[in-house]
Structure 1
Amino acid sequence: MAAPDIGSCLSAGIDGFKKNPVAHILAVVLIGVVGGVSAGILSGPMVVGYMRMIQKEERGEAVEFTDVFKGFDDFVPALLAVLLSSLIVSVGFMLCFVPGLLIIGLVPTAAYLVAAGEKDGINAIKRAFEAVKANLLGTVICSLVLSIVGSLGALLCGVGIFLTLPIGMIGFYHMARQITDGGPLAITRA
């Protein structure tokens, strides 16, 4: 498992966003709306679908913002991976902040593993934890940089978040891919 390259993750986020900004903006808006309406319950499948959309775009295939719904193909693993890993990170932040900071990369990595073919949400969390632990310092720094970049748009009356959040999320996809050496399986479905 390789340590994440912060520069390449950030560059990949910017380059990925430039390929199809409208699809990425609409996808992030959909994730926010569906996640908000469902009290976060459906965020997992939506994030997994977004990661599949990014993978599809990397293969040179045409993407649409509705690709975020592809995460519902693996509803239970996506739900478990994102919901439980988010809960673990939240508890970590409540325990004097530092434990949460150390495992901040757990959520995108677990989501990535499900998007890459892991059919067991709990196993995705275990594998994500091992990948984060093996690359602890690099993952923490990369996660912080991507989180800051993704949140910068909030400074512009909140509207800019639609431009910066996709960059951060695409960067998280690349970070997760790097620390897991590409995940459990190659993504073959569209």
Structure 2
Amino acid sequence: MNPQSVNFKLSDYLSKGFELLKKDFGGVLTGFLVCFVMSIIPFCGYLGMGNFYKYLRKKSKGLPASPGEIFNFDDFMPYFILQLIVLGGVIVLYLPLALMMPAAAYISADNGGGGGLPFLFFPYMLVFYVVLFYFVLKGFYIPALISFKGIKDIKTAWNISTVMTKNNLLNIFLFSLVASILGSLGAILCGIGIILTLPFTYAANYFAYEDALQQIDKDEIAEIGTPETF
């Protein structure tokens, strides 16, 4: 691989996600439901997601794919470690808030019930979400690197992802926001409909991953020159 900042094609990924759904909606939906079942198993949510992306790759390329492949545990350990890191990060970010609550209540009591909590709470939550989104966006390509490139070391995957997302954080944020809104329309319009629309988010993400990995793949022939034909 040749890690570099990728050319993020927001609209292409959304349109290709819709095309894949139209092409094989039943297959994508079945895979999503199996992925959902995997997410119920403790510490297997990220693994199910990663395996679902492998399944979508086969579907998009017209290769035979069975939903049962999503119950594959070959990548369990890297996704397990990733989940522990995410959980630990959230706990670390929430810990100051847990310590802040008693102090805020005390200040509020001293002020006769006036504005101690909002004064501390809202600035902290703003910083909390900025930090959270920053790390989530910088690690956007980690699932693709684990599932498609077989990178088991989370630190290595993180380092590569940070290079790939350079100068693209806003585009990735907008893409994730639009894909999430479109994928959640089923819940907004009709609760059960989320099962029909949420697979779109995964399909769009898959195409974002696939295109980015193609951009960073080394073309060894291009690097050494076209070999002579004898």
Moved more, 41-50 or 124-133: 124-133
* Deviation digits for residues 18-70 of structure 1 (CA, Å, limit 9, x no counterpart): 222122212222222221242xx101211111111111122221223223224
Q: Which residue of 1 aligns with 2:202?
A: 169
Partners of 1:18 and 1:84 in 2: CA distance: 36
Note if contact 1:153-1:162 (Cα within 8 Å) is conserved in structure 2. yes
Structure 1 residues 86 and 29, CA gap change in structure 2 (3 angstroms): farther
How big is the shift at 1:98? 2.1
Q: Which residue of 2 aligns with 1:60?
A: 62
Structure 1 residues 121 and 44, CA gap change in structure 2 (3 angstroms): farther
Identify which of 183, 186, 195 aligns with 1:153: 186
Query: If you compute each CA radius of gyration, which structure gives the higher value, 1 or 2?
Result: 2
* Runs of 5+ consecutive residues of structure 2 not aligned to the other structure: 95-123, 219-230
Q: Which residue of 2 aligns with 1:14?
A: 18
1:73 is paired with a residue whose SS is coil
Identify which of 2, 5, 18 aligns with 2:6: 2
Residues 1:111 and 2:148 aligned together: no
Structure 1 residues 88 and 180, CA gap change in structure 2 (3 angstroms): farther
Partners of 1:85 and 1:118 in 2: CA distance: 20
Partners of 1:30 and 1:68 in 2: CA distance: 7
2:62 is paired with a residue whose SS is coil
Identify which of 21, 26, 29 aligns with 2:30: 26
Moved more, 123-132 or 1-10: 123-132
Alpha carbon RMSD of aligned pairs, Å? 2.9
How big is the shift at 1:102? 3.4
Task: Give the 5 Å matches for 1:174-185.
Answer: 174-181=207-214
1:159 is paired with a residue whose SS is helix
Partners of 1:81 and 1:148 in 2: CA distance: 25
How big is the shift at 1:12? 1.3
Identify which of 49, 52, 58 aligns with 1:50: 52
Partners of 1:184 and 1:45 in 2: CA distance: 24
Residues 1:141 and 2:167 aligned together: no
How big is the shift at 1:14? 0.8
Note if contact 1:43-1:79 (Cα within 8 Å) is conserved in structure 2. no
Q: Which residue of 2 aligns with 1:120?
A: 152
Percentage of pairs with the same residue: 25
Structure 1 residues 87 and 22, CA gap change in structure 2 (3 angstroms): farther
Partners of 1:81 and 1:111 in 2: CA distance: 9
How big is the shift at 1:165? 1.2
Note if contact 1:27-1:68 (Cα within 8 Å) is conserved in structure 2. yes
How big is the shift at 1:99? 2.6
Partners of 1:182 and 1:85 in 2: CA distance: 27
1:130 is paired with a residue whose SS is helix
* Deviation digits for residues 51-110 of structure 1 (CA, Å, limit 9, x no counterpart): 11111122221223223224x222212333455357658959964312333344456521
Partners of 1:126 and 1:88 in 2: CA distance: 17
Moved more, 120-129 or 83-92: 83-92
1:167 is paired with a residue whose SS is helix
- For normalisation by structure 2, the TM-score amounts to 0.67
Say how many residue pairs are matched.
Answer: 182
2:184 is paired with a residue whose SS is helix
How big is the shift at 1:7? 1.0
Note if contact 2:51-2:70 (Cα within 8 Å) is conserved in structure 1. yes
